[in-house]
Amino acid sequence: MPDTEAAASDSGSNKDSLSRIMLVALSVCLVCSIVVSTAAVALKPAQEANKALDRKQNILRAAGLLAADASVGAGGESIDELFASFRQVAIDLETGQLIEGFDTAGYDPLKAAKDPGRSLDLTPEQDIATIGRREDVGLAYLLEGADGTLDKVVIPVRGYGLWGTLYGFLALEGDLNTIAGLGFYEQKETPGLGGEVDNPAWKALWPGVKLYDGSGKPSVALVKGRSPEGSPAADYEVDALSGATFTTKGVQNLVNFWTGELAYGPYLKQLSNNRRG
């Protein structure tokens, strides 16, 4: 009997110990979750500010107004001072019309593209950039002179490469047919191969490339062997990335998709007509 009582006592003690351990563990988890949640809420404004700053920097770099490794302008201007020259607009990508009064500050095109109620489901034939869905409302950034003349237009672009989606900005000159620059702020391509989309030497090949052919169709081509200088085809060509066939094709497709009829093409066409008018 004493042995039985001792065993029962040990069993009760073990249960108490286990209960205390579980209580301590749960308490620690609760405290940690509160700390993490509080930190996330407290850091959110700073994260949003950094995100906005990064977006501005990439737009400025695509437009050629900020060097790749610089955090201020050539004249010492801050990012905000440089970006203040741009006018952000919202566009109905189906019609090409500006949307007046749209809250561009609180709008995320990438989130909208995931919402069936705010995006277009692309067919395989339409989806040359392999993005799945295209948001109904797109954003564009206009750089205008003091007299109101259009200097540059910057649009966001994205499309699938080899390992994932490339996200970036394409800048056009005021004639809306000459590329001013192209840059990517997020990509997962192979370093030394497709990852060369970030190489300043390759990005320097883009300014001056023509976008639309005589019929108004986006005709940028990334090729291994450039056409002879002075030939009509040479105006639309950029050197392909060596050893990166899928990334090269992806970049070509995303540029031609986002400047085409299913994306910013109707808006750019109307903008061009308005300039001539």
pLDDT in tens, the chain (277 residues): 455 554 545 555 665 677 777 777 777 777 777 766 665 556 555 656 677 788 899 999 999 999 888 888 878 889 999 999 999 999 999 999 999 999 998 899 999 999 999 999 999 999 999 999 999 999 999 999 888 889 999 999 999 999 999 999 999 999 999 999 999 999 999 999 999 999 999 999 999 999 999 999 999 999 998 898 888 899 999 999 999 999 999 999 999 999 999 999 999 999 988 876 5
Two structure tokens written together for 181: 């620059």
Q: Which amino acid is at 29?
A: C
Report pTM: 0.82
* 240-251: burial string, b at 16+ Cβ within 10 Å, e else: bbeebebbbbbb
Contact present, 134 and 93 (Cβ < 8 Å): yes
Q: Which amino acid is at 193?
A: L
Q: Whose structure tokens read 């903008």?
A: 271
Q: Which amino acid is at 171?
A: A
Distance CA 191, CA 198 (A): 10
For residue 111, count CB atoms less than 10 angstroms from its CB and return exposed for 0-12, middle for 13-18, buried for 19 or more.
exposed
